[in-house]
Amino acid sequence: MSDIKTKKRKTWKNPLAVWGAKGGNYEVPTPEWKNPHQIWKDTKAFKVPTTKIGRFHYEYKSSNHGEKIWNRLRWWPTRRTILWTQGVYNRKSLKPEKIRKDKRPIFWFLSLLALAIMPFILPDGYKNSLLTAGGIFGIYASINLCWTLVIGTAGIFSLATYAIVGMSAFLTTWLSINLGLPWWMLPMIGMFVGLAFGVIIALPALRLDGFYYGLLTLGLNELCRVFITTSHAFGAASGGLYGADTFINDNWAPMAQTLVQYYSGFALLIAALFLFRFVDGKRLGRILKLAPEKKEAFAEASGVNYKRARVTVFLISSIALGFIGGFYAAYYRGSAFDIFSFHTVIMGLAMITIGGIGRADGAVAGTLIIVVLDRVLVELGPYRYIIIGLIMMFTILFLKNGLFGIRKQFRDWRDKKKGEARSSRLERGGEMLPEQATEIDNKDEIYRKRYDKMQREFLKTLICDEIIEEHKQKPLGQHSEALERVCYYFRRGAMNDKYVVKCEVPFKKYKIMALSGVRGRSPRLVEDKIYDTVEAAYHGLFLRRIQDLMEA
């Protein structure tokens, strides 16, 4: 303040002087003050990096044809729509628009189409090896889809999936060799083998929970391996049992054989996807979604027999796994002991975890990644297992639920960051945040708040000892520019909590009150201090207002 006093005093020309009010001088001295336009310029010069606000501004919205916003294609004869489409009106232009609420069917269709035409677009040099890998991919993806049904939908942590497939493959191969069964019988018999094994394995699942069951099935896997490798009937010297009937004719051209292999694997994958869809998305899946882990008691109390549903899903997928086992036998003419090894279990777990446990797309994509690494990039040697292990490590360390959980994880992270940014911007003096502003319809209110905030920022710079002294000398009448601006602002304030002077005894006792701002509700007394003159009361009120301004 002292440096202002030493400066040469400015003067203020009173525009109201021409009306000749009493004491309305043409010119009065005023302390140093800042240009009121400066704060406007500062506010407009917004240096903080801004982000786009609002929701789904990036979502593609196709325009509508005419007025038919509700017209939809349906799968005949059901009421099921082909794509989940929602008609909306654009809030700005009021044009009708269509949003695809679920785009996954599009991606599924495109990727399966790509798999279907793969043999025709692959370069000749790699065709054979890639198509062979494609057939393996189809079989493994089907196994993993059934496994996803068990782990994800039924919530039974079974590691004996490959054991069921292997047992089915070995038994059907043995039957085919000894009884001469044709190839198309093998998957059928495999279904019965799978059912039998499913019943045996499901028994402990009723009593044990979670990881006890997982460890037990890991042991069962080992049991099957030891049984098969040491038994006289199955244990051949060649590392497996071969010689079953097959649907691939040796007399065909090599490329024709590969194509049949590829497309049969592809057909198996499609069948497994349908099974997944009809178990997970229909009644059984709905029941089990009501009974997630740790909420079984609630489901039971609501009359849901979740145990029965779990076992049913387990048995259905066991039958499917048995079918795949028989198919495997007919595909490879038998099976190797490798299918029971711990390594296969690790690879299978890698396939379903990389994509995301409990999701069909996760199981298929994870299988694709692992099969490409394992069977196509063979020249990497043992390093490919190290790469697979590193991908697994990356997945469990950084991703919440595999690759297909990234979307949700990213959104959660973005919302968290938004919340953090919002809380860091909260000290903006009552100005509205962009996120709030999108949700307020009266845009005048936003601008009023912004203007109010700017004005208070400016008025804070005007408050100094001189104007307080000036006000003390002469509460009413003509003031210097700085004081006049402050007073105008105070007088114009809102009615709620506005300070007023109350006269207790004329010319003797005055008090300060605050209005309630609500009709019919009486004002409240803000302090007990008694002022002797009305001028002193005016000044006390002025000081209170200044205090509120500086603290806000």
Partner 1 sequence: MNDIIFLIINGITVASIYGLIAVAVSITWSALGLLNLSYGFIFSFAGYGAWLAERHIYGEPVFVMFMGIAAGVVGGIMVCLLVFIPVHDKPNFTIRGMIGTLAVSLIGGQILLQNFGPKAKLLPEFFGYGKIKILDVTLTADKIGIICSSILMLTIVVRWMKSSRRGLEIRAMMMNPHAASIVGIGVRKTGIYVMAVTGAMTGLSAALLSQTYYLSPFSGLTPMIKGVSIALMGGLGSVKGAVIAAIILGFNEALTTKFLGGRYVLMTQFALIIIVLIIRPRGIAGILDKAREA
Residues of this chain that bind partner 1 (CB under 8 A):
157, 203-204, 207-212, 214-216, 218-220, 222-223, 226-227, 230-231, 342, 346, 349-350, 353, 357, 382-383, 385-386, 388-390, 392-393, 395-397, 400-401
CB of 287 to partner 1, least distance (A): 23
Give the shortest CB-360-to-partner 1 separation in angstroms: 19
Shortest reach from residue 354's CB to partner 1, in Å: 10
As measured in angstroms, the least distance from the Cβ of 208 to partner 1 is 5
User: Which residue matches tokens 């099921």?
Assistant: 80
Min dist. Cβ of residue 358 to partner 1 (A): 11
Q: How far, in Å, CA of 469 to CA of 542, rounded? A: 11
Q: 323 — phi, psi (to 5°)?
A: -60, -45
**Which among 476, 367, 334 has a CA at the least distance from the CA of 140?**
367
Nearer to partner 1 by Cβ, of 199 and 393: the residue is: 393
**With respect to partner 1, which residue has the nearer C-beta, 52 or 232?**
232
3-state secondary structure of 518: coil
| DSSP 3-state of 336 | strand
Helices 360-371/124-148 angle, 10° precision: 140
Closer of 131 and 220 to partner 1 (Cβ)? 220
The answer to whether 476 touches 487, Cβ cutoff 8 Å, is no
| Of residues 275 and 350, the one with the C-beta less far from partner 1 | 350
Question: Using CA atoms, how far apart are residues 442 and 316, in angstroms rounded to an integer?
Answer: 58
Is 96 or 214 the residue whose CB approaches partner 1 more closely?
214
Cβ closer to partner 1: 236 or 487? 236
Cα four-point dihedral sign 442, 446, 449, 454: negative
| Nearest to partner 1 of 53, 390 (CB atom) | 390
Q: Contact, 489 vs 548, CB < 8 A? A: no
Give 96's strand partners. Answer: 89
CB of 369 to partner 1, least distance (A): 14
Smallest Cα–Cα separation from 362: which of 88, 51, 145, 75? 145
Phi, psi of 74 (to 5 degrees): -130, 155
Nearer residue to partner 1 within complex by CB, 315 or 346: 346
Whichever of 210 and 430 has its CB closer to partner 1, that residue is 210
* H or E stretch covering 106: helix 104-116
Distance (Å, rounded) from C-alpha 59 to C-alpha 90?
13
Nearer Cβ to partner 1 (354/512): 354
Counting runs of H as helices and runs of E as strands, what totals does the chain give? 21, 10
- Nearer Cβ to partner 1 (165/388): 388
Q: Least distance in Å: CB of 375 to partner 1?
A: 17
Pull the structure tokens for residue 372.
Answer: 């490409």
> At its nearest, how many Å lie between partner 1 and the CB of residue 342?
5
Tell me which residue of 196, 214, 195 sits closest to 205, measured CA to CA: 214
Distance CA 324, CA 172 (A): 11
Could you tell me the CA-to-CA distances from 29 to 131, 239, 465 in Å, in that order?
93, 106, 15
* Shortest distance (Å) from residue 223 CB to partner 1: 5
**Residue 305: CB minimum distance to partner 1, A:** 20
CA gap 332, 149 in Å, rounded = 25
**Which two structure tokens, joined as six digits, stand for 35?**
């240009």
Nearest approach, Cβ of residue 202 and partner 1 (Å):
12
Token output for 134: 């494609």
